[in-house]
Amino acid sequence: MAMKVKHFGHVHERFTAPVSQRYDCGRMCAPLNGGEPVCCTTDNAVPVVERAEYKYLKKRTDLWRGFKPTDAASRQIVDELAPSCLAIECKGAAHCEREHRTVACRSFPFFPYFTKEKEIIGLSYYWTFEDRCWVISNLQIVEQEFVDQLIEAYVYIFEHDEDEEEAYIDQSASMRRVFSRSGRVIPIIGRDGKIYKILPKSGGKIIDANIEEFAALEPFTSDEAYREAIEEADGDPAGKTLSPDWSIKDWWNND
């Protein structure tokens, strides 16, 4: 079985919620990435889609085109794709059309997390982006509507595509291995809205947690660290802070 064009229509119509209505996270990571949001540049993340999703999008927009590898790493991504998949790229963040984003765009930086028992308990994130994606350092901003819609979208996709389900079961197992090896705790945003954690070398056991246990990661730990990282990325750190027009603290206090 595989997702068909009409199935992607079903998903695109229902999975529309942003990670957060309140925060434009792209403003926080773009200074680290030449002014473009990290997940919107193929230097960082090459969108991979099912051919049926590309067909669905091509009928509606000219935002997307096939991705042409520019170096050995991106050539490898393209070479290793399953025959049903395609690497694509959009015209860039300045031309983004929200209704024509891929499922991968809509989900980033999260994926449905499977327990060892192959049950979807909630979301976790693509950890290789921890050093560039501001959302990963601010999990408290993730809204329930986004969690609900992401889970619903993927459950639907898995009903139509067993390989896709297997890929996320593997992705979750891989996260457990990587985090266990480095002695790190995995944060999970539960589909019930609660926060859970998995301790290293615990056999994947899910236990209750508090969002406060998951501190921001470098370089989102302080304005100083943030500005240093912007400078290292050849950006202009002048005036850049982790709370430009709003304050997370105010948000916590107001809610």
Interface with ligand SF4 by CB under 6 A: which residues?
25-26, 28-29, 37-40, 47, 90, 93, 96, 101, 105, 108-109, 133-135
Element (H, E) at 108: none
In this structure, what are the phi and psi dihedrals at residue 197, rounded to the nearest 5 degrees?
-145, 160
Shortest distance (Å) from residue 132 CB to ligand SF4: 6
Shortest distance (Å) from residue 111 CB to ligand SF4: 13
Shortest distance (Å) from residue 158 CB to ligand SF4: 22
| Cis status, amide bond into 47, omega within 30 of 0 | no
Output 33 or 172, the one with its CB closest to ligand SF4. Answer: 33
Q: What CA–CA distance (Å, rounded) separates 144 from 191?
A: 8
**Residue in 196, 172, 198, 173 with CA at minimum distance from that of residue 184:** 198
Output 64 or 196, the one with its CB closest to ligand SF4. Answer: 64
Shortest distance (Å) from residue 91 CB to ligand SF4: 7
Output 93 or 199, the one with its CB closest to ligand SF4. Answer: 93
Q: What CA–CA distance (Å, rounded) separates 79 from 110?
A: 25
Output 199 or 233, the one with its CB closest to ligand SF4. Answer: 233
Q: What CA–CA distance (Å, rounded) separates 226 from 34?
A: 14
Shortest distance (Å) from residue 29 CB to ligand SF4: 3
- Give yes or no for a contact between 12 and 99, defined as CB atoms under 8 angstroms apart: yes
Query: Tokens 């064009």 belong to which residue?
Result: 5
Element (H, E) at 231: helix 223-232
Shortest distance (Å) from residue 105 CB to ligand SF4: 3
Q: What CA–CA distance (Å, rounded) separates 41 from 34?
A: 10
Output 23 or 114, the one with its CB closest to ligand SF4. Answer: 23
Output 98 or 249, the one with its CB closest to ligand SF4. Answer: 98
